[in-house]
Chains A and B, each alone.
Chain A
Amino acid sequence: MERLLITGIAGGQGRLVAKRLSDQFAVSGVDRAPWEGHPDYITVHTMDLRKKKFEDIFRRERPSAVVHLAFVRHFRADPMVRHEINVVGTKRLLECCAAYGVKRLVVLSSSYVYGALPESPYYMDEDTTLNVSRHYPDIRDLAEVDTLCSTFLWKYPEIATAILRPVPTLGYYVHSAIGAYLKLRWVPTIMGFNPMVQFIHEEDLAEAIGRTIELGLRGIFNVTGPGAVPLKVAIRETGGTAVPLLEPIARTAIDGLFRLGLYHLPPGALDFVKYPCTIDGRRFREATQFQPLFTLEEIFGSVRH
């Protein structure tokens, strides 16, 4: 049985991917946080990607496939640590993949790398530039990671590297920024703006990642779910109440609260509730015949409070 290594295996998405692929692969995983009570057919190494011993896993286990999910997407950590884990950690992982004969690699990027800009097309394809740093520099490390992996993709044609850029993911296991935002009782929005937002269910994303590994897909792919609704419909459907704020007030307030650690997102994130960041998922669907199983109703139901 071929071996699959999942980084960030203890996160919600990591667990789902591990289960999805454990029939075809001997699955092992790395995570900084432990996975209590993991199934015994899965090997879990509680370890930091930046540690020297990380390479030992490759030496010892010789995985033929790797799914890279170990990213810090929240802002609770020191920004330096965040940058190090995301960018330096990915670089280390890519070097190991090249050195130890990995044949298939999937990296989970996100649609956020395109940024939310007023002049962006509604359904951005994979050739759109990664504009997120223009107004939301706090997550530019994720755009750097994406670019780093694209370079790797072209540099090592013998490795089937796939970069997946899914739309915001919701579900029971996954903790996403948009999920935390929608779970607020009073959800701040910007007055006079109500962009379309796409969602995908975590199980569907696990299926998409699983299929990418199975098919040995190579390239950059947007991954979309069942469709889009205006942001305020999503807020209502998940049980919250939209609180429209005047933009200058919203920016000042969120900047202050974020600095004090009372709000989980920096003000740059406000662009994503102002302008659409919607993507075109045709390339992935044509390559994999992937069809999301979960409807928008079910997705909203999974995070309703």
Chain B
Amino acid sequence: MDVPTGDLTSSDAIDLADSFGALSDLVGGMLDSVSPSLIRELNHEIRDRLRRSPIRVNSYGYDPWGYNPDVARRTLLLFALLYRYYFRVRTTGLEHLPKGRLLVIPNHAGQIALDAAMISVATVLEADPPRPLRGMGEYWLPTLPFFNVFMARVGGVVGTPKNARDILEHGEAVIAFPEGVRGMNKTFAERYQLQEFGYGFMRLALETQTPIVPVAVVGSEEQAISIANVQPLADLLGMPAFPVLLNYFPLPVRYHIAFGKPMEFRGNANDEDEVIGKKVEQVKDRIHDMIQAGLRRRSSWFW
């Protein structure tokens, strides 16, 4: 099976019209005129790395869940620029990534999920072999026009138990944030305090015998300073949270992403919450320790 070369073919012209890939293409095009060689080289680098990833696509360039390396590359290009030149990410521990299926479990912060994007860029640009991460989306995301197509093309799927099992059994690398919006929308005063973890990821790991890779992200928690969360307003608007921010544009903090050694758990996926909870705590403790180590090492938010 061939991975398409990544030049704009008629196949992704269809998809670009239908996804936000067009947007990142536009940004890429604008930057191209300012600094053509940098963009071109980065583009080639991402293309080569995606080609070396274990994800196989059919002759039309799609995997069974609708992932398409051309759209993924265009999206990654935009985030890779942020990764290298805005957040200047320092990533460690990628040598720990196991072969085959795995679950990446990070802390979650920053009001918008740039942490997810930065971790995804790291596993493509710096892991060997490159591992594009598959995200698990909410059940209602497929109802959003355009976004649903974009989500599938960059490797996302709806987080139903069957999808999660299938995609792991297919040998993919899946990213999940057990804190969910509780982590992402916490206030500045609560930074680096891990919120309650959901148990779903642990049941999934036990069921499919998938190694868990704990990840600590330092930096993301200062990118957007939230002084309060107006929950009644959020409920009124049907949003998960309504943060009041000092800055609505993320600060150029430096990200430090640490990938930990994989943790393997054995046991019954259908054990009661108490048993599962103890295993979840082990993962949470590990991430906590990695965050604290990262905080001790860094000298300032921006450096």
Contacts and interface: CB of A to CB of B under 8 A. Distances in A.
Contacts of B11: 233, 236
B14 interface: yes
**5 tightest Cβ-Cβ pairs between the two chains A and B:** A192-B145, A121-B162, A118-B142, A192-B146, A121-B160
A233 B14 contact: yes
Contacts of B158: 118-119, 121-122
B58 interface: yes
B77 interface: no
Interface string A221-253: 000000111101100110000101001000000
Given A196-B66, A236-B10, A242-B14, A229 B58 contact: yes
A96 B139 CA distance: 44
Contacts of A191: 145
Contacts of A119: 139-140, 142, 158, 160
A124 interface: yes
B163 A230 contact: no
A123 B170 CA distance: 12
Contacts, number: 87
A192 B62 CA distance: 18
A229 B63 CA distance: 8
Contact of B65 (A120, A122, A232): A122
Contact of A122 (B58, B144, B157): B157
B139 A230 contact: no
Contacts of A230: 14-15, 62, 66, 149
Contact of B149 (A125, A194, A297): A194
A244 B145 CA distance: 12
A41 to B, nearest CB: 39
Interface string A7-18: 000000000000
A192 B140 contact: no
A193 interface: yes
Contacts of B59: 295-297
A275 interface: yes
Most buried by B among A122, A123, A237, A278: A122
Interface of A: 118-125, 190-194, 196, 227-230, 232-233, 236-237, 242, 244, 247, 275, 278, 280, 295-297
A280 B160 CA distance: 14
Given A192-B149, A193-B148, A229-B58, A118 B140 contact: yes
6 contacts: A193-B18, A193-B148, A194-B14, A230-B66, A232-B14, A297-B59
Interface residues of B, number: 29
Interface string B135-168: 0000110111110110010000110111100100
A122 B163 contact: yes
Given A230-B15, A232-B14, A297-B59, A196 B162 contact: no
A29 to B, nearest CB: 37
Interface in B84-142: 139-140, 142
Contacts of B60: 229, 233, 237, 296
Given A118-B139, A122-B65, A233-B60, A280 B166 contact: yes
A121 B163 contact: yes
A247 B148 CA distance: 15
A122 B163 CA distance: 6
B145 A193 contact: yes
Contacts of B15: 194, 230, 232
A29 B152 CA distance: 45
B238 interface: no
B143 A118 contact: yes
A167 to B, nearest CB: 13
Contacts of B65: 122, 196
Given A123-B162, A233-B60, 18 more contacts: A118-B139, A118-B140, A118-B158, A121-B161, A121-B162, A122-B64, A123-B64, A124-B162, A125-B162, A192-B148, A193-B149, A196-B64, A196-B65, A229-B62, A232-B15, A233-B11, A296-B58, A296-B59
Contact of A275 (B14, B142, B162, B163): B142
Contacts of B66: 196, 228, 230
A119 B145 CA distance: 15
Interface string B191-215: 0000000000000000000000000
Given A119-B139, A119-B158, A121-B160, A194 B166 contact: no
A21 B215 CA distance: 58
Contacts of A242: 14
